[in-house]
Structure 1
């Protein structure tokens, strides 16, 4: 492990950076850390097309009394971008190797977008490593297909990213990345150009543009075809889980989340009013507050839905 000051790395007060070598996974991951070293560890997993910086407003709030670890997934941000390893399972195994390297037996996890999908895989396949899980702007693995199918058009952007070599060319152009982030926010005035460029400029690197393409391509190859056949139909989610949905999410609207009662011991859904698909940047206080409350709550009935300021059983 090495501490570092890397050119081009955006600065967030109170956040330290280092690289962690994972030789068994053939990758070196960048992590951003904040908070007391003896605090309860919280692992943050970013979505696409972002990296650790997506948590910049959430980190200071959680770091008051938690050890916060925001990792750049393989191929994103300042982590290595090897040619392979971009399946959901592969990314989850990277995370497990990272926890081993950091000597962390069990952590609380907050994942956004695709990072939340990786979080679900972690919670299902390695529940002993996850004490509680918050999924932001992502459905669980058992959505109701009657509700999901009419909303598949919302993933239109993936058609431009998932086929080599088109995806990498689109990403290297950077305009599409800026467009997506503006489009997904409930209020596009959220963005400053320099913040958009923190994400878009990373894809100027051909290796990272290819990684973004492979991330989507591997989902087509390994996830989409298996999901209708019920890849997780016999899996059970034993880790207490909270889903935070944006009321105005254009990609994963609350209507597609559905009831996961038959697959989960403790699954709750909270709709953040007025929020879009980028809740960690649009509603960071809500994400931090709901996560903190959830981390300290006891068990609840298998599925509950709430709107407004609190999570309540239905």
Structure 2
């Protein structure tokens, strides 16, 4: 097991940083503010800094807990443990280490996929859930099949040798994905694009494994309809981008029979990176869902 990377952290004076030993690795945690605790789960190819715009717009009264998932950002790099069940165990163990019995939950992209897994696995740990730019665990096959072509880029990431090589040595690919998947590519600064391209390179093992474990475990479970035997009891708001080219609006419908309290909203004109493109709307959703 390698230790966390020593490269400089993105500068954000509002964030406090620490590392905690969790399940055989060392997880990096960035924290903002004080008050109602919210566990914030980033997506690919990002890390804790994905939340800096949202954090700047939230008033006092919230404690944002922004971990780097195993192998990403400044967390320890491991060869295994990047499947959703393993990552869920990491986050529950992290909450235990922090002494947090119950928190609010926010997730984006892969972090939102992980958020659904956490809510189904340990609903008693989460007061409510805000999911951003991710389909729920019960997508309709009639909506999934016509949109599979949109995931063409995963073929360059998920396979062990090719995926790691692409992420390590082709930073232009990461920058291309970030620009293409935002409704307005200008939402990214050069510094941000460079940061996340380098992050993808450093986290190549974790990035490739994240996609590959989905192929090995999650896709077969989706075909079998495994999630249909589970029910979402955590109050949930699913927020999507009207112009999201990865998780299109049609993929957000159809969860009502499997959830006690789930609502879906689209942000007009927004793409796949709501925390970056529309941090104000995300902050407003946080304030509405997690009142303190």
Structure-1 residue corresponding to 2:291: 296
Q: Secondary structure at the match of 1:152?
A: helix
Between the aligned partners of 1:94 and 1:7, the Cα distance in structure 2 is 23
Aligned pair 1:131/2:152, yes or no? no
Between the aligned partners of 1:61 and 1:104, the Cα distance in structure 2 is 24
Aligned pair 1:160/2:163, yes or no? no
1:286 maps to which of 274, 277, 281: 281
Partner deviation per Cα, 1:80-134 (whole Å, 9 max, x = no partner): 1100001011111100000000000000010000000000000001001111000
TM-score, normalised via structure 2 length:
0.95
Greater than 4 Å deviation, 4+ residue runs: none
Moved more, 26-35 or 95-104: 26-35
Between the aligned partners of 2:286 and 2:248, the Cα distance in structure 1 is 20
Partner deviation per Cα, 1:234-280 (whole Å, 9 max, x = no partner): 10000000000000000001111112121100000010011100000
Decide whether the 8 Å contact of 2:29 with 2:65 is kept in 1.
yes
* Alignment RMSD: 1.6
Q: CA deviation at 1:203?
A: 3.4
Q: Secondary structure at the match of 2:39?
A: strand
Between the aligned partners of 1:146 and 1:56, the Cα distance in structure 2 is 37
Q: CA deviation at 1:7?
A: 4.2
Between Structure 1 and Structure 2, which shows a larger proportion of helix residues?
Answer: 2
Between the aligned partners of 2:263 and 2:289, the Cα distance in structure 1 is 10
- Long gaps (5+) in structure 1: 298-314
Task: Work out the number of aligned pairs and report it.
Answer: 288
2:264 maps to which of 249, 261, 269: 269
Q: Secondary structure at the match of 1:33?
A: strand
Between the aligned partners of 2:182 and 2:100, the Cα distance in structure 1 is 34
2:253 maps to which of 249, 258, 265: 258
Q: CA deviation at 1:63?
A: 5.5
Decide whether the 8 Å contact of 2:45 with 2:200 is kept in 1.
no
For CA contacts below 8 A with separation 6 or more, give which structure has more relative contact order: 2
Structure-1 residue corresponding to 2:13: 13
Between the aligned partners of 2:16 and 2:7, the Cα distance in structure 1 is 14
TM-score, normalised via structure 1 length:
0.89
Between the aligned partners of 2:84 and 2:52, the Cα distance in structure 1 is 24
Between the aligned partners of 2:164 and 2:108, the Cα distance in structure 1 is 22
Between the aligned partners of 2:25 and 2:59, the Cα distance in structure 1 is 27
